[in-house]
Amino acid sequence: MNKADINPVVAELHHLHTIRQKSQQILHLAQQNRLHHFSLNANKMAAAAAFVTEVILEQYPDLNIPYHSRWRHFEAGSHPRINQLLENINSLPSQEQGRILYELAILSVLLDAGAGNQWQFVEAETQEHYTRSEGLAIASLSMYRQGAFSSVDNNPLRADASALIHLNDSILSNAFQVTKANPLAGVSGRVNLLNRLGNVVGQHKVFFGDEARLGNFFDYICSLVSNKKIEAALLFQSVLTAFNKIWPTRLEYAGQSLGDVWIHSALTSSIPGSEYIPFHKLSQWLTYSLIEPLEHMGIEVIQLDALTGLPEYRNGGLLIDFGILELIDPTDSERLHEPGSELIVEWRALTVALLDELADLVRANLQKNQLELPLAKILQGGTWEAGRRIARKKRPHGTPPLNIVSDGTVF
């Protein structure tokens, strides 16, 4: 679809600035006590910022913080898995290295839906056991290195349309060590997502080339680079456009699928599309994860803070668990909520808006400016780990403070 074909309302919902603008509108309503599901206790922000600062200094005392991205999960157990991969592919042309890194990042992000409480992965090389996001990352790396996503003999390190389309539950279950005693949540959902990815890779030559290879998206991004630089917003727009059709169709506007976009009645005005609020969480998570391969090739991604804080359950949970956000009806913590419910939409919007404010407080604590400590590093340092830690203190297994129905394509 050409840009000219995109409805202007849909185009606006695809912009990062719209995510912040709409989230700020929800925050303003919270400040006026006009929301239906959450009340705001802004006086507790300082305590949360102090805790995040403490976590940052514990994890990164020199403040040399990497970006919040999928690459961090490959480092579980302090093993240099990606450095080992880079050593193995060092003799390949730099563009081919970039293609491989992009394939690994994209596939691993798409396989990163919640694993459930029982699943674990035993890494062959170390015989160590990993669970949740780290386990999924290491399992996806192992699966990629074995050539499960390649249809080309003797060339395992590639992902192409044919292999992705023919992926099935059995292949994924075997690669991820799934058994009755070791169940993984959402196997079929993950496979369906990668099958749809295969269809997209096969159909869109502008992004994936004549050979229908996922890694050719790296070449497409490189074609947008100017003077060894690319704006984060342009990288995000490219991700959103290239991968839009892999997500399940939810809301549509003018016949066009909106993706991770929802409705909040309090935003409704006479302006067309005013009731919609976008988040594009997984597309932003993918964008964050595509930055480091570019930097590895000497390309700088600029204006990083155009990307927003990620509205997911660790960051959002931090705000609830610190009492910054308080449920108006406490029994809502016991109910199961759909992603499109106004309660979840409010929570996610407030998370985006308040993460910006929390980041400013953390920077002040550490005496750093926005360039020195971009949001991508505060998330990593940071809010995500702080959210995980306080969840473990508050609830068995560190579960989130809200129960969400998820198919792995929103959170």
pLDDT tens sequence across 23-32: 999 999 999 9
| Mean pLDDT, residues 341-349 taken together | 98
Residue range 72-78: mean pLDDT, rounded: 95
Domain, as residue range, for 152:
3-404
pLDDT at 406: 75
Name, in order, each residue with C-beta under 8 angstroms of 142's C-beta and a sequence gap of 6 or more.
123, 124, 175
Region 355-374 average pLDDT? 98
* Any domain includes 255: yes
Q: How confident is the model at residue 1 (pLDDT cuts 50, 70, 90)?
A: low
| pLDDT, mean of residues 146-166 | 98
Phi, psi dihedrals of residue 152, rounded to the nearest 5°: -105, 120
Radius of gyration of the chain from its Cα atoms, rounded to whole angstroms: 21
Question: Rounded to an integer, what is the distance from CA 195 to the centroid of its chain?
Answer: 20
Q: What is the mean pLDDT of the chain?
A: 96
pLDDT at 195 over 80: yes
pLDDT tens string 211-253: 999 999 999 999 999 999 999 999 999 999 999 999 888 899 9
pLDDT for position 335? 95
130 located within any domain: yes
pTM: 0.94
Residue 384: per-residue pLDDT = 95
Residue 404, phi then psi, degrees to nearest 5: -120, 135
- Mean pLDDT value across residues 305-329: 97
| In-domain check, residue 409 | no
| Predicted local distance difference test score (pLDDT) of residue 3 | 54
pLDDT tops 70 at residue 2: no
Instruction: Tell me the three state secondary structure of residue 190.
Output: helix
**H runs (alpha helix) in 185-300:** 187-203, 205-208, 216-223, 232-243, 281-289, 291-296
Closest CA to 289 of 85, 23, 58, 82: 82
Torsion sign over Cα 237, 318, 384, 344? negative
- Joined tokens for residue 292: 């480091």
pLDDT tier at 379 (50, 70, 90 boundaries)? very high
Please check the confidence at residue 197 and state whether its pLDDT lies above 60.
yes
At residue 399 the predicted structure's pLDDT band, cuts being 50, 70 and 90, is confident
Residue 410 binned pLDDT confidence (cut-offs 50, 70, 90): confident
Residues 77-102 have a mean pLDDT of 97
What does DSSP say about strands 129-130 and 121-122: parallel, antiparallel, or unpaired?
A: antiparallel
Number of other CB atoms surrounding residue 58 within 10 Å: 11
Burial class (CB in 10 A: 0-12, 13-18, 19+), 183: middle
Half-sphere CA count of 197, side-chain side, radius 13 A: 25
Is residue 375 very low, low, confident or very high in pLDDT (cuts 50, 70, 90)? very high
pLDDT of 113 above 90: no
What is residue 48's predicted lDDT score, i.e. its pLDDT? 99
Using DSSP's 3-state secondary structure scheme, residue 337 falls into strand
Which DSSP helix (H) or strand (E) runs through 326? strand 325-327
Is residue 410 domain-resident?
no
Q: Does a structural domain hold residue 411?
A: no
Cα 230 from Cα 235, distance rounded (Å): 7
Residue 76 has pLDDT above 70, yes or no: yes
| 124 pLDDT more than 90 | yes
The structural domain count of the chain equals 1
Between vectors from CA 379 to CA 375 and to CA 383, what angle results, nearest 5°?
A: 125
